[in-house]
Structure formats: structure tokens, C-alpha cells
Amino acid sequence: MRNLRGGLLALALIVASIDLIAPPAHAEATEAERRTARDLFLEAYKIQAAGRFGEALEKYQRSLSLFQAPTSLYRIAQCQAALGKWVEASESYRAAAAMPLGDNASSAFKEAQAKATTEREALEARTPTLTLDVTPHEGPTVTWSVDGEPFNTGLLGTAIRLNPGARRVQLSAPGYESIGQTVTLKERGHHTLRLALTPLPPPPVAVPVTLPPVPPSGELPPSQEHLPPPPALPVVHKPESASQKVTTGGFLLGVRGGGILLNGGPSLARGGDEALFNGFGGHVAADVGLRFGKVVVLSAYLDYGVVPGPEAGKLEQSASHNVSFTASAKTVGFGFMLSLIADPARPSFYFEMGGGARHHLLTVGRQEGGGSSLVTSDYMFTGPEAVLGMGVWIPAGRSFALVPKVSLAAGLLNKLECTSPAAACPVDDEFLSSGDIWNKAPHTIVMFNLAGFYTLSF
């Protein structure tokens, strides 16, 4: 309550000084102007106390334009300092302290001038400075500004006070490239900004081409050896096309198909050493994988093919009694593959290796003694296999590629199962099933494929 009463008393003295005492230079102010200046000062004082410094600053400035008083300048400086305009506030404090007063000036005016001097010194101690160091130091005529405000060239290398915060420095000189840089000034900070001017490249010089004079009629033209060489054409570098841009990795989806040459499997029991599966067939396959490091692919594969089954006559020769046969065969393989692409962006070498498991599916139809009943038996020969392949990677767009390739699969068929009911599985009548022959039944498959791969990049 005591502070409030003291503030109101000081305000009353300031307002009374506006009514009663005027600086000599503005004694010509009319009564109406003094009254309006007083009202504006009162409004600004209340607004300043509420913390609305922008509004208060505008009213103090209007009051000062009607009646020149150090109290108004002092309050203007306070509002400017609160708004972050420390350089402007310092000048307003200085102007308030330097304003001439008459012999009968009020104590409020004198107190405002004393406070203006004290607060200006404190504010200038907090105000950051910026020193601009430009190289080369001599020669160019430098033009520079801070936040669009131009500064004299003579201030280069001198610390100047600036308001705190981010300040944009622009620098230019004839024959040099313009420079723009933002520097953040902090309270009480002394910052040095060093900028180097870069000369502009010289303009291109046109080289005149002198043509030989036209010879008079009937004379031979001068030798072409004396003509100046034609100017060199600029080299134009073709930008990299979209199809040549290869991402680091992605999900790979592939389909392939072609022919296969199958040989191997168990021998017929009584038909000699000829392999059970032997001949040409066809197959299709699918691949799902992940490409990483641009050139490496890890994928899983599944293939399905139709292959030649054993000839009916061979099966009949192996049977122990009068039995007629029909046979059909299929093959299924699955596993994992590791592939290497020499350069995914252009036609290049493709290599793969992997392994998994192979199932040969054999369906045998038996008809005994010329009877009408047909007994169908389904056999599955199973074993591991390894795969090696090579081909050519041919990009057909940014995300698609064709790969003609040849692969070799080799493995052992070491397990036999009959998937039909037990009564329809007379294994001994068709081929050997006893002993360890199933551990020693190798097979090979040569695959001729055309594959298509689509990459979903990430």
C-alpha cells in the first residue's frame, strides 16, 4: 500500500509539472496541448503498469509530441527496453538526460533525468555488441547492413551495440559475391563475425573467328590448313535417368518358368539300372525375398514341375506277375536362395546359390490279370538338395528386371512314403524298398528359366 501511494504521489507531481512548468524551448505550447499531453501521459502510465508496453509507448510518444518533457522521454525509454529495443531505449534515456530545463524546473523532471542516466548505463552494460571482420580488408568498397539498416563502412572492425536476438547481416562489394548470414546476439555478449569476400568469376570472353578472304575468280582458294580450328563444343553430361537410380534395398517378388531336364532317383527293381525319373519336363516357380546393400538378395523359393514318369513297360518287366501299369510324375522343391547382382542399374552378371528339399511325386496305376479294377498308388520320394545358378540381370524399368538363367539342382532321395491306403501300396512289386538304397539315390535337375523380378523399394 505504501508503494502504491508513493507511485500515485510521483505521478501527481509529474502531471502537475506538465501543467505548471514547461521547458523553455517549448513554452509556446497552448493550454489545450498541455491538457491533452497530460491526459495521454496518465493513460500511458496505467497501460504501462498493466504490462502492455507497445500501447503505452504509442501514447507516451503522442504526449511527447504535444509537450516536450523528460518524464515522457524517460517512460518511452522504459517501454522500448521492455520490448527488446535496447539500442533505441539507450538513445531515449540519453535524450531525456540531455533535455535542457529551466531554472524553475520541477523535481519530477530532475528526478527523471537522474534515473535516465542511471538506467541507461545499466542497460548499455547488458546490450550485446557485434564486430564485423571482413577480408580482404583493403580494396573493395563494402556496403553492409543489419536487419536492413545500413551501417557506415568506417564501422567495420568496430564493436557496435545491437538489440539482442537473431540479427541478419548482409554484405556486398563491387566485383564480389554478396554474403548474407544470421547471427544470434545474447545479453552481455561480445560477438565477432568474420566474413570473406569471394570474387565473382570473370565473364566469358568471346573468341573472334577470322574467315579467309574470298579469292578472285579463277584463283585457287587458300589451303584449309590455314583456317583456325573450330571452337570446342561444351560437354553436356546427361543426367541420370530414373531407371538408373537404384535404392539401397527393398522387398523382392519374382516368378519364373521354363524347362527342366531330370535324371536320377531309385532304380527299377527288375528293370535294370535305369533311373526311375529321367527326361524333359516343365516347371514354374515363385520367389519372395529381401534385397539389401543394393546387390545382395536373400529369398525363399517354391517350384512345381511336371516330369516324365517311368515307362509302363519297364514297370511291367519289374513286376513279379501279370500286371499292367500307368504312371505320372511331378516334382516340388522349396528352400532358400542367396543371390548376387553385379550392377542392378544396368545389364550385368547374376549368380545364385542355395538349398532346400525336393519331393518327387509318383502316381502308379495297377491293373492285375486283365481285370477291370484299377488300383492307384501315390508315392513320395523326399530328400535334400543344393542349387547353383547363373544368368544375366536385365533392368526393364526402375522396379522391374528380367533374368534369363540356368540352374543346377542336385540332391539325394533318401526317404520313400506311400500316401495311399496300405492295401494300395505294393512297393515290392514296383521298385526296391528294402535295405539302404534310399540313402543312395542321387538325382539332378537342370533348369532353364526366364524370371521376372519386381522390387518394392524402401
Q: CB 274: neighbour CB atoms within 10 A?
A: 11
Q: Average pLDDT of 39-47?
A: 94
Q: Average pLDDT of 305-320?
A: 68
| Percent with pLDDT over 90 in the chain | 39
- Given a contact cutoff of 8 angstroms between Cβ atoms, the answer to whether 58 and 35 are in contact is no
Q: Average pLDDT of 136-164?
A: 87
Average predicted confidence (pLDDT) for the chain: 80
Q: What's the pLDDT at 209?
A: 67
pTM beyond 0.75: the answer is no
* Per-residue confidence band for 113, with pLDDT thresholds at 50, 70 and 90: very high
Residue type, position 213, single letter:
P
| Percent with pLDDT over 70 in the chain | 73
Q: Average pLDDT of 304-333?
A: 72
Angle at the Cα of 319 from the Cα atoms of 316 and 320, rounded to 5 degrees: 140
pLDDT at 271 over 60: no
The label of the residue with cell 535404392 reads: 247
Q: What's the pLDDT at 22?
A: 46
- Given a contact cutoff of 8 angstroms between Cβ atoms, the answer to whether 443 and 411 are in contact is yes
Q: What's the pLDDT at 252?
A: 81
- Given a contact cutoff of 8 angstroms between Cβ atoms, the answer to whether 56 and 47 are in contact is yes
Q: What's the pLDDT at 280?
A: 86
| b/e sequence 12-22, b meaning 16+ C-beta within 10 Å | eebbebbeebb
Which tens digits make up the pLDDT trace of 336-390? Answer: 999 988 888 889 889 899 999 998 887 877 776 555 566 777 878 788 999 999 9
Which tens digits make up the pLDDT trace of 419-451? Answer: 777 656 665 444 544 443 444 678 788 999 899
CA 178 – CA 71 distance, rounded (Å): 45
| DSSP classification of residue 199 | B
Q: What's the pLDDT at 277?
A: 74
Q: What Å distances lie between residue 115 and 61, 102, 119, CA to CA?
A: 19, 18, 6
311 versus 408: the higher-pLDDT residue is 408
pLDDT at 159 over 90: yes
Sign of CA dihedral 59, 60, 62, 66: positive
| DSSP classification of residue 238 | P
Q: Three-state SS for 66?
A: helix
CA 118 – CA 121 distance, rounded (Å): 5
CA 24 – CA 13 distance, rounded (Å): 19
Which tens digits make up the pLDDT trace of 200-249? Answer: 888 887 777 676 666 665 555 555 445 566 666 665 555 554 445 667 77
Residues 6+ apart with CB under 8 A from 163: 84, 85, 86, 87, 88, 127, 185
- Judged by phi (left if over 0) then psi (alpha if -120 to 50, else beta), residue 269 lies in alpha
- Given a contact cutoff of 8 angstroms between Cβ atoms, the answer to whether 225 and 412 are in contact is no
Residue type, position 346, single letter:
R
